[in-house]
Amino acid sequence: MALKTMIALLLKLTLSLTVLMGSAGIASWLLAEPVAHPFSNIDMSSHWTTRPVRIDPAAQTYERLPPRTAPIQAAEHDWKMPAIVEQASTAQAEEPTIDRTLVTSAIEKIPVFGEAHVQWCQNRYRSYRADDNSYQPYSGPRRQCASPLMSADTGEVEVAGGESASFVDDPHAAWCANHYRSYRPEDNSYQSYSGGRRQCHSPHG
């Protein structure tokens, strides 16, 4: 019984000493100051000076290399230039030519109306178009505008039905056109507010 007690005490003492020594080693390692890194040749006078020193560039032993230049490369697209020129000439040759005779004849056939005539038609019809001298009535297709202020160059205009009406030589039509906005010289009628179309009666006829 006494032997077992002695062995237990020795084991406890050994374990306590081991834990104590391990704790002391860990504490000393954690609390130890870091060792400064040693620099070789730190005390050499050629590397460190206490005042500025002038350096002679001619006394340096460094070998200076010549500047690098970009290599000269041959133009890679020179051989493509003839092909591009040939394509451009071919495309220019294939362009459709404009028949100037047709264009000139089409321009010559466009009637020219006086400024007073165009202004009269614009004031009278909101849908008037000066390029074809037509307006859109309330019903039916577009019609030609015939005004009493037509220029002597045009003389007369073609109205609906293919007939020609001249207000310059017809004072009756001119009087009706001035009094009734819906006046049509082809049938001498105008649209009344109360119903259908009515014949125009003027002091001239």
Residues 47-79 pLDDT 10s: 667 788 888 878 877 777 788 877 666 555 545
Q: Considering the domain boundaries, does residue 67 fall inside one?
A: no
Return d(Cα 121, Cα 15) in angstroms, integer.
124
Which residue in 127, 131, 161, 159 sits closest to 146, CA to CA?
Answer: 159
Q: Considering the domain boundaries, does residue 82 fall inside one?
A: no
Give the model's confidence band at 15: pLDDT under 50 very low, under 70 low, under 90 confident, else very high.
very high
pLDDT digits (tens, 9 = 90+) for 185-198: 888 888 888 878 88
Q: Considering the domain boundaries, does residue 194 fall inside one?
A: yes
Give the model's confidence band at 157: pLDDT under 50 very low, under 70 low, under 90 confident, else very high.
very low
Q: Considering the domain boundaries, does residue 99 fall inside one?
A: no
Region 80-105: what's the mean pLDDT?
Answer: 59
Q: Which residue range(s) make up the domain with 131? A: 109-199
Q: Considering the domain boundaries, does residue 38 fall inside one?
A: no
The predicted model scores a pTM of 0.27
Of 91 and 78, the one with more pLDDT: 91
Give the model's confidence band at 152: pLDDT under 50 very low, under 70 low, under 90 confident, else very high.
very low
Which residue in 160, 162, 188, 161 sits closest to 173, CA to CA?
Answer: 188
Q: Considering the domain boundaries, does residue 188 fall inside one?
A: yes
Q: Considering the domain boundaries, does residue 190 fall inside one?
A: yes
Residue type, 169: D
Residue 162: what pLDDT? 40
In this structure, the dihedral spanned by the alpha carbons of residues 36, 41, 45 and 51, taken in order and rounded to 10 degrees, is -40
- Taken as a whole, the chain contains a residue count of 205
Number of domains in the chain: 1
Q: Considering the domain boundaries, does residue 160 fall inside one?
A: yes
Return d(Cα 56, Cα 26) in angstroms, integer.
57
Across 23-37, 62-76, 109-123, least confident range: 62-76
What tokens were used for 185? 């010289």
Percentage with pLDDT > 70 across the chain? 63
Residue 96: what pLDDT? 58
C-beta separation of 148 from 178 below 8 A: yes
Residue 101: what pLDDT? 58
**What is the pLDDT of the chain when averaged over all its residues?**
73
Percentage with pLDDT > 90 across the chain? 8
